[in-house]
Amino acid sequence: MIVARRVYLLLTAFIALGVAVTGLVGLLAFAARRVLDSVMPLAGQITWEDARGEVAQASAQALVGIIVWGFHLRLAWRLAARGERAAEERTSLLRKLYLYAVLLVGALIALVNGIDLVGNTIALGIGDAAGRVTPVSLIDPLALLGVVAILWLYHLRVIRKDRMVIEEAAAGATLRRWYLYGFSFVALMFAATAATALLETIWESVTVPLASTVMEPVAQTFAIARAAATLGVGIAGWAISWRAARAWLDRTQAADPETSSVLRKVYLYLVLGVGATVTVWNAGRALDALLRATLRQAVGTADWASLTPRLSEALPLAIAFGLMWLYHGRVVRREAALAREHDEQAAIRLQYGYLVSLIGGVAFGVGAAGSLAALLDVLIQPGQSTEAEIDRLSTHLTIFIVGLPLWANQWRHLQREAVTLRGGSPVVRRVYLFIALGASVLTLLFSGVFALYLAIRGALGDPWSNANTTDILLAGCSAAVASLFLAYHLGVLRRDYARQSDTSGAVQERIQAVAFVRAVRPDDLRQWTRRLERSGGAVRVVPLDAARLAALEDQVPGAAEGPGAA
C-alpha cells in the first residue's frame, strides 16, 4: 500500500512539475519579450491581442502545475519528516528515483539550453549580418534556464538533507550514479564532438589555398558559434559532474563506497570504448589518405589537393576523442592500482580488454593478409599497378598498422594477467580464444575452397586471367595468416589448460592455512572469500564470537600476534 501511495504521489508530482515549468517559462519569456519590445521595437512582434491566448495558456499551466506539484510533494515529504517510517521514507527507492530523475532531466535541459544561450550570444557578438540571431533569440533559453535552475537547486537541497539524516547506500547510491555518470557521459560526448567541429573549422580556415575565393563565410561563423557554445557548456558540465564523482570516490568510509561501484566501471569502459572506436577509425582514415597520396606519388598520379579535405574531419575526430580516450585510460590505470577489485568490476574490465583484442586481432589479420597479397600482386604483375591496386594496398596497410598495436597492447596486458591467475581462465578469455580459433579455421576453409575452385576452373580449360592471379594470391595470403593465428591461439589455449591443471593440484599440496579475518562489512568478507575461490582456493567461513576467537587463537601458534600476522 505504501509503495502504491509513493508511486502515485511522486509520479503525479513529477508530471505536474513538467506542466508548471512549461507555464512558468512561457510567462517569463512573454514578460521578457514585452520589456525588450519597449526598449527596442522588435520586427514581427506579436500584438497583445495575439498574445492573449499564449498568456492564458501559460498562466493556467503554471497555476495548476504548481498547485498539484506542491500538494502531492507535501504529502510525500510529510512521511519523511517525522514518525516511525521517516528513515524508511528517506531511503525509499521511489523517493530517490523522483529526486534523481528531476536532477538529471533538469541538468540535461540546462545543458541544451545553455548551449543555445551561449551560442546565440557568441553569434550576436561576432555579428550576424543576415539577422538570424536577434536579442529575442536569447529570451527562451534564458527563461528556461532560470526556472529550471531554481527547481534543480531545491531538489538538490532535499537530497543533501536526506544524506545528512541517513547515508546513501544500495539502490539510492546506484540511482545517484546513474544520474552523475549519465550526465557526465552526455556532456563529455557533446564536448568532444564540438571540439572536433572547432578543430575542423580552424583547419579549414588555415588551409584555404591562396588562389581561392570563399562564398557565404557567414555560414562558418555560425558553425563556430554553435560549436564553441557546445564545447564550453559541455566541458563545464562534464568537469562539474566528474569532479563530483571524484569527490564520492574519495569518501572511502561511505556505506556504499564508489570504489566498489560497478556502474563507475561501466561508465569508464563505455567512454574508453567510444574513445577507442572513434580514435582508431579516424586515425585509420587519416593514415589511409596519407598513404594513398604517398603511394600515388610513386606512380605519378598523386592528388595532394584532395588530401586536405580528407584529413579535415578525420584528424580532428582522432585528436578530440583520442584525448578523451587517453584521459580515461589513465583514470582506469590509477583505479586498477587499488588493492581490491570486485568480481563484477573485473568482469567489465576483462570484457572490454578481450573485445578490443578481438577487434584489433581481426583488423591486424585482415590487414596483414591483404597487404601481403597486394604487395605480391604488384611484384608478380608489375604492369597492373593501377590506382585501384594502390588504393587497395593503402587500405590494407592502414588496417594492419592500426590493428597491430591495438591487439598487441591489450593482449600483452591480458596475457600477463592470465599467467598470474590460478584456477582456470575467465569465461570471456575462453570465448575470445574460441572465436579466434573459429575465425582462423573458417578463413582456412574458405580460402582453400576458393583456391581449389580457381584451380579446377583452370584445369577445365577456363583461361587464366590477371584477376585470377590477384584472387589466388589473396586466398593464399589469407590462409597463411589464418594458419599462424590458429597455431598461436591453439598454443595459448593449451598453455591455459596446462596451467589450470598444475595449479589445482598445487593448491591442495602446498597452501593449507587457517585465517582469522575481521571484516568491517559482511559484503567485504564475501568479496574476500570469492577472490580466493576464484584463484582456485577452497574457503570455509565459520563466524566466531569473541570468546571462541580467543580460544582458537590460543590453540594456533602465532595467531594472537595481531593484525597482519596470520
Partner 1 sequence: MVSVGADATSAGAEPGRADRFFLAIVVGAFALIVVSVAAVAAPGLRGATTPPDPASPVGVVHGFTTAARAGDLPLARSYLSRAAQGELDRARSGEKLSIVDARRDSEQRVVVTLVSESPDQALVRVTFTTYSARVDLFSSGAWHRSVDVRLIREAEIWRIAWPIDPMSLAY
Give the per-residue SS3 of 227-288.
HHHHHHHHHHHHHHHHHHHHHHHHCCCCCCCHHHCHHHHHHHHHHHHHHHHHHHHHHHHHHH
Q: CA–CA separation, 394 vs 504, rounded Å?
A: 49
Residues 104-133 that bind partner 1 (CB under 8 A): 115, 122, 126, 130, 132
Nearer to partner 1 by C-beta: 330 or 413?
A: 330
Which of 294, 409, 527, 535 is the binder for partner 1 (CB under 8 A)? 527
Q: CA–CA separation, 390 vs 372, rounded Å?
A: 13
What is the number of other CB atoms lying within 10 angstroms of the CB of residue 40?
9
Say if residue 531 is exposed, middle or buried (CB neighbours under 10 Å; 0-12, 13-18, 19+): middle
User: Cell 585482415 belongs to which residue?
Assistant: 366
Nearer to partner 1 by C-beta: 163 or 330?
A: 330
Which of 309, 405, 438, 458 is the binder for partner 1 (CB under 8 A)? 309
- Residue 260 identity: S
Residue 197 contacts residue 318 (beta carbons within 8 Å): no
Which of 300, 383, 557, 563 is the binder for partner 1 (CB under 8 A)? 563
Which of 340, 494, 530, 548 is the binder for partner 1 (CB under 8 A)? 340
Q: How far is the CB of 283 from partner 1 (least distance, A)?
A: 15
Query: Counting contacts by CB under 8 A, is residue 537 touching partner 1?
Result: no
- For residue 2, the Cα-to-chain-centroid distance in whole angstroms is 38
Q: CA–CA separation, 528 vs 244, rounded Å?
A: 29
Cα–Cα distances in angstroms (integers) from residue 137 to residues 62, 121, 346, in the given order = 22, 9, 49
Residues 248-267 that bind partner 1 (CB under 8 A): 249-250, 252, 257, 259
Which of 331, 435, 490, 532 is the binder for partner 1 (CB under 8 A)? 331
Q: Which stretch binds partner 1 (CB under 8 A): 11-19, 142-150, 313-321, 419-427?
A: 313-321
Query: Counting contacts by CB under 8 A, is residue 185 touching partner 1?
Result: no
Residues 370-399 that bind partner 1 (CB under 8 A): none
Which of 516, 535, 536, 544 is the binder for partner 1 (CB under 8 A)? 516
What cell numbers appear for 294 in the block? 604517398
Nearest CA to 292 among 402, 390, 401, 399?
Answer: 390
Which of 36, 528, 534, 536 is the binder for partner 1 (CB under 8 A)? 528
Q: Which stretch binds partner 1 (CB under 8 A): 14-22, 50-58, 495-503, 522-530?
A: 522-530
Which of 144, 195, 283, 474 is the binder for partner 1 (CB under 8 A)? 195
Query: Counting contacts by CB under 8 A, is residue 556 touching partner 1?
Result: no
Q: Which stretch binds partner 1 (CB under 8 A): 154-162, 319-327, 462-470, 537-545?
A: 319-327
Residues 131-150 that bind partner 1 (CB under 8 A): 132
Residues 427-446 that bind partner 1 (CB under 8 A): none
Q: Directed axis angle between helix 262-298 and helix 343-380, to 10°?
A: 10
Q: How far is the CB of 409 from partner 1 (least distance, A)?
A: 19
Residues 200-219 that bind partner 1 (CB under 8 A): 200-202, 204-206, 208-209, 211-219
SS3 label, residue 511: coil
Residue 90 contacts residue 100 (beta carbons within 8 Å): no
Query: Counting contacts by CB under 8 A, is residue 39 touching partner 1?
Result: no
Q: How far is the CB of 218 from partner 1 (least distance, A)?
A: 7
